[in-house]
Amino acid sequence: MFNKKIALTGLMAILLSSSMSVPQSKAASALDHVQFQMNKKSYTNSTGNHPLIVAPFTVNGHSMVPLRALAQSLGTAISWNPNTHTVTLSGQPFGQITLKANTKFSVDAKGEQTKLPESIKLVNGSLIVPAKSLAELMGAQVKWNPSTQTITITKNTTVRDNLSISYTFNTSNEGWKGDFADLPVDYNKEIYALKYARALLPIGGNNTTNYGLKLVGANRSDDLFMFLTQKVENLTPNTTYQVKLDIGMYTKESGGMSGIGGSPSESVYVKAAVLNKEPKAVQKDDGSGLYYRMNIDKGDQSNEGVDAKILGNITKPNSDREGFQRVNFSYNTTVKTNSKGELFVMIGTDSGYEGLTTLYYDDIKLSAVKK
Protein backbone atom coordinates (compact mmCIF):
# COMPACT_ATOMS: atom_id res chain seq x y z
CA MET A 1 0.00 0.00 0.00
CA PHE A 2 0.87 3.64 -0.20
CA ASN A 3 3.17 4.72 2.61
CA LYS A 4 4.08 8.28 3.51
CA LYS A 5 7.84 8.88 3.38
CA ILE A 6 9.20 11.53 5.68
CA ALA A 7 11.95 13.61 4.05
CA LEU A 8 14.78 14.44 6.41
CA THR A 9 17.49 16.88 5.53
CA GLY A 10 21.00 17.78 6.62
CA LEU A 11 22.17 17.26 10.15
CA MET A 12 18.71 16.44 11.48
CA ALA A 13 18.59 13.32 9.29
CA ILE A 14 21.23 11.87 11.58
CA LEU A 15 19.10 12.76 14.60
CA LEU A 16 15.82 11.35 13.40
CA SER A 17 16.42 8.54 10.90
CA SER A 18 16.75 5.69 13.37
CA SER A 19 13.74 6.87 15.37
CA MET A 20 11.61 6.31 12.26
CA SER A 21 12.77 2.72 11.86
CA VAL A 22 9.93 1.34 14.01
CA PRO A 23 6.36 1.95 12.75
CA GLN A 24 4.60 4.22 15.23
CA SER A 25 1.67 1.84 15.71
CA LYS A 26 4.07 -0.85 16.88
CA ALA A 27 6.33 1.45 18.87
CA ALA A 28 3.45 2.91 20.87
CA SER A 29 2.25 -0.50 22.01
CA ALA A 30 5.63 -2.16 22.60
CA LEU A 31 7.83 0.62 24.03
CA ASP A 32 7.08 2.20 27.41
CA HIS A 33 10.31 2.82 29.32
CA VAL A 34 13.98 3.74 28.96
CA GLN A 35 17.03 3.76 31.23
CA PHE A 36 20.18 5.84 30.80
CA GLN A 37 23.43 5.70 32.75
CA MET A 38 25.55 8.83 32.93
CA ASN A 39 28.68 8.77 30.75
CA LYS A 40 27.72 5.41 29.20
CA LYS A 41 27.26 5.17 25.42
CA SER A 42 24.26 2.86 25.52
CA TYR A 43 20.70 2.81 26.84
CA THR A 44 18.13 0.14 27.67
CA ASN A 45 14.44 0.03 26.77
CA SER A 46 11.70 -2.56 26.24
CA THR A 47 13.53 -4.06 23.25
CA GLY A 48 16.96 -4.40 24.82
CA ASN A 49 20.27 -2.54 24.92
CA HIS A 50 21.17 -0.03 22.20
CA PRO A 51 24.24 2.12 21.39
CA LEU A 52 24.37 5.89 21.63
CA ILE A 53 26.41 8.39 19.62
CA VAL A 54 26.62 10.68 22.64
CA ALA A 55 26.71 9.41 26.24
CA PRO A 56 24.35 11.06 28.77
CA PHE A 57 26.04 13.65 31.00
CA THR A 58 25.17 16.09 33.77
CA VAL A 59 25.10 19.88 33.69
CA ASN A 60 24.63 21.77 36.96
CA GLY A 61 23.14 18.64 38.51
CA HIS A 62 20.70 18.03 35.62
CA SER A 63 20.83 14.77 33.64
CA MET A 64 21.11 15.41 29.89
CA VAL A 65 20.12 12.58 27.52
CA PRO A 66 19.71 12.10 23.74
CA LEU A 67 16.22 13.13 22.63
CA ARG A 68 15.90 10.49 19.92
CA ALA A 69 16.47 7.59 22.31
CA LEU A 70 14.10 9.07 24.88
CA ALA A 71 11.28 9.70 22.38
CA GLN A 72 11.62 6.40 20.52
CA SER A 73 11.66 4.39 23.74
CA LEU A 74 8.36 5.91 24.86
CA GLY A 75 6.69 5.27 21.48
CA THR A 76 6.61 8.97 20.64
CA ALA A 77 6.58 10.33 17.07
CA ILE A 78 9.42 12.75 16.30
CA SER A 79 9.65 15.03 13.26
CA TRP A 80 11.88 17.80 11.93
CA ASN A 81 10.52 21.06 10.48
CA PRO A 82 13.16 22.56 8.13
CA ASN A 83 11.25 25.85 7.85
CA THR A 84 11.43 26.64 11.57
CA HIS A 85 14.44 24.43 12.44
CA THR A 86 12.47 22.74 15.20
CA VAL A 87 11.82 19.20 16.38
CA THR A 88 8.27 18.23 17.33
CA LEU A 89 7.27 15.33 19.57
CA SER A 90 3.75 13.97 19.15
CA GLY A 91 2.03 11.46 21.40
CA GLN A 92 -0.32 10.86 24.27
CA PRO A 93 -1.17 12.12 26.79
CA PHE A 94 0.82 15.31 26.14
CA GLY A 95 -0.23 16.01 22.53
CA GLN A 96 2.67 18.05 21.10
CA ILE A 97 5.98 19.46 22.28
CA THR A 98 8.20 21.59 20.03
CA LEU A 99 11.90 22.09 20.76
CA LYS A 100 14.75 24.07 19.20
CA ALA A 101 18.49 23.64 19.64
CA ASN A 102 20.33 26.17 21.80
CA THR A 103 17.15 27.39 23.51
CA LYS A 104 15.79 26.88 27.02
CA PHE A 105 12.11 26.60 26.10
CA SER A 106 9.61 23.99 24.98
CA VAL A 107 6.35 24.97 23.25
CA ASP A 108 3.10 22.98 23.46
CA ALA A 109 0.30 22.72 20.86
CA LYS A 110 -1.33 25.90 22.21
CA GLY A 111 1.88 27.88 21.80
CA GLU A 112 2.54 28.09 25.54
CA GLN A 113 6.21 28.08 26.56
CA THR A 114 7.83 26.15 29.40
CA LYS A 115 11.29 27.15 30.58
CA LEU A 116 13.80 24.31 30.87
CA PRO A 117 16.60 24.18 33.48
CA GLU A 118 19.27 23.81 30.79
CA SER A 119 19.55 24.68 27.11
CA ILE A 120 18.83 22.02 24.50
CA LYS A 121 22.23 21.09 23.04
CA LEU A 122 23.29 19.77 19.65
CA VAL A 123 26.24 17.39 20.10
CA ASN A 124 27.66 15.34 17.20
CA GLY A 125 24.32 15.43 15.37
CA SER A 126 22.22 14.49 18.41
CA LEU A 127 19.89 16.77 20.32
CA ILE A 128 20.55 16.46 24.04
CA VAL A 129 17.79 17.50 26.44
CA PRO A 130 17.28 17.78 30.22
CA ALA A 131 15.79 14.36 30.92
CA LYS A 132 13.58 15.06 33.95
CA SER A 133 11.95 18.17 32.51
CA LEU A 134 11.22 16.58 29.10
CA ALA A 135 9.93 13.38 30.67
CA GLU A 136 7.53 15.29 32.92
CA LEU A 137 6.28 17.37 29.98
CA MET A 138 5.55 14.09 28.19
CA GLY A 139 3.60 12.81 31.21
CA ALA A 140 6.21 10.18 32.07
CA GLN A 141 7.51 9.13 35.48
CA VAL A 142 11.18 9.64 36.42
CA LYS A 143 13.37 7.76 38.91
CA TRP A 144 17.00 8.62 39.72
CA ASN A 145 19.42 6.14 41.29
CA PRO A 146 22.43 8.07 42.65
CA SER A 147 24.43 4.95 43.48
CA THR A 148 24.43 3.71 39.88
CA GLN A 149 24.06 7.15 38.24
CA THR A 150 21.06 5.90 36.25
CA ILE A 151 17.82 7.61 35.30
CA THR A 152 14.75 5.52 34.44
CA ILE A 153 11.82 7.07 32.59
CA THR A 154 8.50 5.21 32.36
CA LYS A 155 5.52 6.08 30.19
CA ASN A 156 2.50 7.09 32.26
CA THR A 157 -0.34 4.73 31.45
CA THR A 158 -2.89 6.29 33.82
CA VAL A 159 -6.34 5.85 32.26
CA ARG A 160 -8.58 8.81 31.54
CA ASP A 161 -12.33 9.15 31.97
CA ASN A 162 -12.46 12.23 29.75
CA LEU A 163 -10.35 13.28 26.81
CA SER A 164 -10.15 16.32 24.55
CA ILE A 165 -7.58 16.60 21.75
CA SER A 166 -7.13 19.13 18.94
CA TYR A 167 -5.04 18.28 15.88
CA THR A 168 -3.76 21.24 13.83
CA PHE A 169 -0.90 19.60 11.83
CA ASN A 170 1.14 22.80 11.73
CA THR A 171 4.34 21.07 12.89
CA SER A 172 3.72 17.35 12.23
CA ASN A 173 1.06 14.82 11.22
CA GLU A 174 0.51 14.20 14.95
CA GLY A 175 0.31 10.43 14.58
CA TRP A 176 -2.34 10.35 11.84
CA LYS A 177 -1.87 7.82 9.05
CA GLY A 178 -3.26 7.92 5.52
CA ASP A 179 -4.15 5.02 3.23
CA PHE A 180 -6.34 3.84 0.34
CA ALA A 181 -8.74 0.96 -0.35
CA ASP A 182 -11.10 -0.41 -3.02
CA LEU A 183 -8.42 -0.67 -5.68
CA PRO A 184 -6.52 -3.59 -7.20
CA VAL A 185 -3.40 -4.80 -5.40
CA ASP A 186 -1.49 -4.49 -8.68
CA TYR A 187 -2.83 -0.99 -9.41
CA ASN A 188 -1.03 1.30 -11.84
CA LYS A 189 0.63 3.93 -9.65
CA GLU A 190 0.79 6.47 -12.46
CA ILE A 191 -2.93 6.56 -13.21
CA TYR A 192 -4.14 6.24 -9.61
CA ALA A 193 -1.92 9.16 -8.47
CA LEU A 194 -2.27 8.25 -4.78
CA LYS A 195 -0.73 10.63 -2.29
CA TYR A 196 -0.84 11.22 1.46
CA ALA A 197 1.21 14.07 2.93
CA ARG A 198 1.24 16.93 5.37
CA ALA A 199 1.01 20.02 3.15
CA LEU A 200 0.34 23.74 3.25
CA LEU A 201 -3.38 24.49 3.04
CA PRO A 202 -4.53 26.06 -0.27
CA ILE A 203 -6.15 29.03 1.50
CA GLY A 204 -4.75 31.79 -0.71
CA GLY A 205 -2.34 34.57 0.05
CA ASN A 206 1.16 33.76 1.18
CA ASN A 207 0.35 30.89 3.54
CA THR A 208 3.59 29.50 4.93
CA THR A 209 2.51 28.19 8.34
CA ASN A 210 -0.98 26.65 8.17
CA TYR A 211 -0.72 22.96 7.32
CA GLY A 212 -3.22 20.15 6.87
CA LEU A 213 -3.25 16.51 5.81
CA LYS A 214 -3.56 16.07 2.04
CA LEU A 215 -5.16 13.05 0.35
CA VAL A 216 -5.14 12.66 -3.42
CA GLY A 217 -6.39 9.77 -5.53
CA ALA A 218 -7.96 8.96 -8.90
CA ASN A 219 -10.82 6.48 -8.97
CA ARG A 220 -9.97 4.03 -11.76
CA SER A 221 -11.82 0.94 -10.58
CA ASP A 222 -15.43 2.19 -10.12
CA ASP A 223 -14.59 2.98 -6.49
CA LEU A 224 -11.89 4.48 -4.28
CA PHE A 225 -11.74 4.95 -0.52
CA MET A 226 -9.19 7.47 0.79
CA PHE A 227 -8.92 7.62 4.57
CA LEU A 228 -7.09 8.84 7.67
CA THR A 229 -6.74 6.93 10.96
CA GLN A 230 -5.62 7.78 14.48
CA LYS A 231 -5.24 5.68 17.61
CA VAL A 232 -6.48 7.06 20.95
CA GLU A 233 -4.90 5.48 24.04
CA ASN A 234 -5.04 5.46 27.84
CA LEU A 235 -8.82 5.33 28.15
CA THR A 236 -10.55 3.00 30.63
CA PRO A 237 -10.49 -0.54 29.16
CA ASN A 238 -13.77 -2.22 28.15
CA THR A 239 -15.72 0.95 28.89
CA THR A 240 -18.33 2.87 26.89
CA TYR A 241 -17.48 6.45 25.82
CA GLN A 242 -19.48 9.16 24.12
CA VAL A 243 -17.21 10.41 21.33
CA LYS A 244 -17.53 13.55 19.22
CA LEU A 245 -15.48 14.46 16.15
CA ASP A 246 -15.30 17.90 14.52
CA ILE A 247 -13.57 17.90 11.14
CA GLY A 248 -12.42 20.68 8.82
CA MET A 249 -12.01 19.80 5.14
CA TYR A 250 -10.89 21.88 2.16
CA THR A 251 -12.43 20.98 -1.21
CA LYS A 252 -12.48 22.64 -4.65
CA GLU A 253 -15.41 20.66 -6.07
CA SER A 254 -18.49 22.64 -7.16
CA GLY A 255 -22.02 21.27 -6.88
CA GLY A 256 -24.19 20.34 -9.84
CA MET A 257 -21.32 19.10 -11.99
CA SER A 258 -21.33 15.84 -13.92
CA GLY A 259 -18.59 13.29 -14.44
CA ILE A 260 -17.89 9.68 -15.30
CA GLY A 261 -19.64 7.45 -12.78
CA GLY A 262 -21.14 10.44 -10.97
CA SER A 263 -20.57 13.98 -9.80
CA PRO A 264 -17.05 15.00 -8.67
CA SER A 265 -18.65 16.50 -5.54
CA GLU A 266 -22.03 14.92 -4.75
CA SER A 267 -20.78 11.41 -5.59
CA VAL A 268 -17.82 11.56 -3.16
CA TYR A 269 -19.21 10.68 0.28
CA VAL A 270 -17.55 11.69 3.54
CA LYS A 271 -17.57 8.90 6.13
CA ALA A 272 -16.40 8.60 9.74
CA ALA A 273 -16.06 5.88 12.35
CA VAL A 274 -14.77 5.42 15.88
CA LEU A 275 -14.02 1.78 16.65
CA ASN A 276 -12.20 -0.43 19.15
CA LYS A 277 -10.09 -2.07 16.44
CA GLU A 278 -7.78 -0.45 13.91
CA PRO A 279 -9.33 0.18 10.46
CA LYS A 280 -6.98 -1.11 7.79
CA ALA A 281 -6.83 -1.80 4.07
CA VAL A 282 -6.15 -5.51 3.65
CA GLN A 283 -5.75 -7.76 0.63
CA LYS A 284 -8.87 -9.73 -0.30
CA ASP A 285 -9.85 -11.89 -3.25
CA ASP A 286 -13.56 -11.17 -3.79
CA GLY A 287 -13.88 -13.23 -6.96
CA SER A 288 -12.92 -10.44 -9.36
CA GLY A 289 -9.27 -10.39 -8.40
CA LEU A 290 -7.04 -9.38 -5.52
CA TYR A 291 -8.09 -6.00 -4.10
CA TYR A 292 -7.33 -3.80 -1.12
CA ARG A 293 -10.52 -3.79 0.96
CA MET A 294 -11.28 -2.43 4.41
CA ASN A 295 -11.29 -4.81 7.38
CA ILE A 296 -14.41 -3.03 8.70
CA ASP A 297 -17.88 -2.49 7.25
CA LYS A 298 -17.78 1.06 5.91
CA GLY A 299 -20.56 0.51 3.38
CA ASP A 300 -20.22 1.23 -0.33
CA GLN A 301 -20.26 4.77 -1.70
CA SER A 302 -23.73 6.24 -0.86
CA ASN A 303 -24.53 3.35 1.49
CA GLU A 304 -23.49 3.43 5.14
CA GLY A 305 -21.94 0.41 6.78
CA VAL A 306 -22.34 -1.08 10.22
CA ASP A 307 -19.10 0.61 11.32
CA ALA A 308 -19.07 3.91 9.38
CA LYS A 309 -21.62 6.67 8.86
CA ILE A 310 -22.02 9.23 6.07
CA LEU A 311 -21.48 12.86 7.12
CA GLY A 312 -22.12 14.48 3.72
CA ASN A 313 -20.24 15.01 0.47
CA ILE A 314 -17.34 17.19 -0.71
CA THR A 315 -19.35 19.99 -2.36
CA LYS A 316 -17.85 23.37 -1.47
CA PRO A 317 -20.16 26.00 0.09
CA ASN A 318 -19.96 28.54 -2.76
CA SER A 319 -19.86 26.77 -6.11
CA ASP A 320 -19.59 30.07 -7.99
CA ARG A 321 -16.24 30.91 -6.39
CA GLU A 322 -13.02 29.34 -7.69
CA GLY A 323 -10.51 27.47 -5.55
CA PHE A 324 -10.60 25.46 -2.36
CA GLN A 325 -13.14 26.22 0.37
CA ARG A 326 -13.58 24.86 3.86
CA VAL A 327 -16.42 22.52 4.82
CA ASN A 328 -17.06 21.46 8.43
CA PHE A 329 -18.40 18.08 9.51
CA SER A 330 -19.38 16.65 12.90
CA TYR A 331 -19.84 13.08 14.07
CA ASN A 332 -21.18 11.71 17.36
CA THR A 333 -21.15 8.09 18.43
CA THR A 334 -21.06 5.78 21.41
CA VAL A 335 -18.34 3.13 21.44
CA LYS A 336 -16.76 0.71 23.88
CA THR A 337 -12.97 0.67 24.27
CA ASN A 338 -10.98 -2.52 23.80
CA SER A 339 -9.14 -4.41 26.55
CA LYS A 340 -6.15 -2.04 26.21
CA GLY A 341 -8.25 1.11 26.62
CA GLU A 342 -7.88 2.03 22.94
CA LEU A 343 -10.15 3.56 20.33
CA PHE A 344 -9.43 4.14 16.64
CA VAL A 345 -10.71 7.07 14.59
CA MET A 346 -11.29 6.85 10.83
CA ILE A 347 -12.21 9.70 8.48
CA GLY A 348 -12.46 9.11 4.74
CA THR A 349 -14.20 9.60 1.42
CA ASP A 350 -15.94 6.88 -0.60
CA SER A 351 -15.87 7.88 -4.26
CA GLY A 352 -18.28 6.98 -7.04
CA TYR A 353 -16.74 9.66 -9.26
CA GLU A 354 -14.24 8.15 -11.68
CA GLY A 355 -11.71 10.94 -11.65
CA LEU A 356 -9.11 12.73 -9.53
CA THR A 357 -10.05 13.97 -6.04
CA THR A 358 -7.83 16.24 -3.92
CA LEU A 359 -8.75 17.05 -0.31
CA TYR A 360 -7.12 18.65 2.73
CA TYR A 361 -8.08 17.94 6.37
CA ASP A 362 -7.42 20.43 9.17
CA ASP A 363 -8.46 21.29 12.74
CA ILE A 364 -9.71 17.84 13.73
CA LYS A 365 -11.08 17.88 17.26
CA LEU A 366 -11.89 14.80 19.31
CA SER A 367 -13.62 14.54 22.68
CA ALA A 368 -14.43 11.36 24.60
CA VAL A 369 -16.50 11.25 27.79
CA LYS A 370 -16.94 8.13 29.88
CA LYS A 371 -20.60 7.14 30.19
Across all residues in the chain, what is the average pLDDT?
87
Question: What is this structure's pTM?
Answer: 0.65
SS (H, E, C) 211-256: EEEEEEEECCCCCEEEEEEEEECCECCCCEEEEEEEEEEEECCCCC
Per residue in 195-207, pLDDT tens?
Answer: 999 999 999 778 8
Neighbouring residues of 8: CB distance < 8 A, sequence distance ≥ 6: 16, 17, 20, 80
Predicted confidence (pLDDT) at residue 5 exceeds the cutoff of 60: no
Rounded Cα distance between 153 and 141, Å, is 6
Give yes or no for a contact between 88 and 81, defined as CB atoms under 8 angstroms apart. yes
Residue percentage of the chain with pLDDT more than 70: 90
* Direct distance between the N- and C-terminal alpha carbons of the chain, in angstroms, rounded to an integer: 37
Task: Give the pLDDT score at 10.
Answer: 41
At residue 287, the pLDDT reads: 83
Residue 139 confidence (pLDDT): 81
The predicted-structure confidence for 10-33, as pLDDT tens digits, reads as follows 444 434 433 332 223 333 334 588
Cβ neighbours around 305 below 10 Å, total: 16
Of 231, 245, 213, nearest to 366 by C-alpha is 245
Which stretches within 88-221 are classed as H helix?
A: 131-137, 189-192
pLDDT tens figures, 260-304: 878 999 999 999 999 999 999 999 998 888 999 999 999 999 999
Which is higher by pLDDT, 237 or 278? 278
Q: CA gyration radius for the chain?
A: 22
Going from the C-alpha of 346 to that of each of 46, 98, 349, the distances in angstroms are: 29, 26, 10
Instruction: Tell whether omega for the bond before 93 is within 30 degrees of 0, i.e. cis.
Output: yes
What pLDDT was estimated at residue 170? Answer: 87
User: What are the pLDDT digits (tens) for 315-339?
Assistant: 999 999 999 999 999 999 999 999 8
Is the model more confident about 27 or about 355?
355
DSSP states of 262-325: S-TTTTEEEEEEEESS---EEEEE-SSSEEEEESS---STTS--SS-EEEEE---S-TTS-S-E
